[in-house]
Structure 1
């Protein structure tokens, strides 16, 4: 996995954490003005610290170590998970669509996400370099074009 994935995931999680922080600050103002119990401050503080440590710091580190993908001639395999490892496999001949997503933050880190869809499910690939993602998308499209199916 590319070395830019970890900082990208950290910044993305940090932006979400800031939204949660604003909501909890609003709740803290409510505690102050509505004379709610002061122990709610400690709960809000605990949520803020736990969110920061688990989702902003630890999750991107673990994600970048345990997530992988493999493109075989006839299938795509994506492996994700830490406590429960999930391995997804899609046969190439069943792929019906390939989506290439790149937002402003991911473009800053030169990353994008490829999603491969079938009739029943889809696989979100881990963040890849834009060139690698475009190449992967083109490889999948070429492999699907070359497939003849009886379905």
Structure 2
């Protein structure tokens, strides 16, 4: 039976540091895009208000992505492994609750990149026949434990068949 309450496992607070650093890296691309846009505005002699607007949008986007969204993502992502299904709750503005039956899981993989390895943060990806589901921003120990738990449940389901 599916629980009415939210999943109990929440992210560790240390993932906020990773998310903020990720926002800084993305912010470099915001700035490069803004500089390119201002250059184009100057090159084509478009009204200067477009340059001002692009700078304002860049600053507001970066500030939101750096100061606000990491905390909201940290609070919004939850997951829990039940005996027959995996439940993932995520979404900052639009909440999504995914229920993945364990018998449908075909593969569990762990993803990381250079920045996530630096902060020891990983993404667990659960693949079923038709879709892929992700539990982002897990610490390495939590990601490995989640993978092992799901794999153990898969073995139990397959041995019962």
Normalising by structure 2, report the TM-score: 0.86
Q: What are the within-5 Å matches in structure 2 for residues 2-151 of structure 1?
A: 2-148=12-158
Displacement of 1:110: 1.1
What do the CA deviations read for 1:59-99 (whole angstroms, capped 9, x no partner)?
11111012111111111111112332210010111100111
Query: Is the CA contact (8 Å cut-off) linking 2:30 and 2:62 kept in structure 1?
Result: no
Distance 2:141 2:92 in 1: 28
Distance 1:57 1:32 in 2: 31
Query: Is the CA contact (8 Å cut-off) linking 1:112 and 1:129 kept in structure 2?
Result: yes
Distance 1:12 1:75 in 2: 31
Q: Give the paired residue count.
A: 151
Unaligned runs of 5+ in 1: none
Distance 1:9 1:87 in 2: 22
Normalising by structure 1, report the TM-score: 0.91
> After alignment, is 33-42 or 96-105 more displaced?
33-42
Q: 1:144 to 1:132 in 2, by over 3 A?
A: same
User: What is the RMSD of the two structures over their aligned residues, measured on CA atoms?
Assistant: 1.8
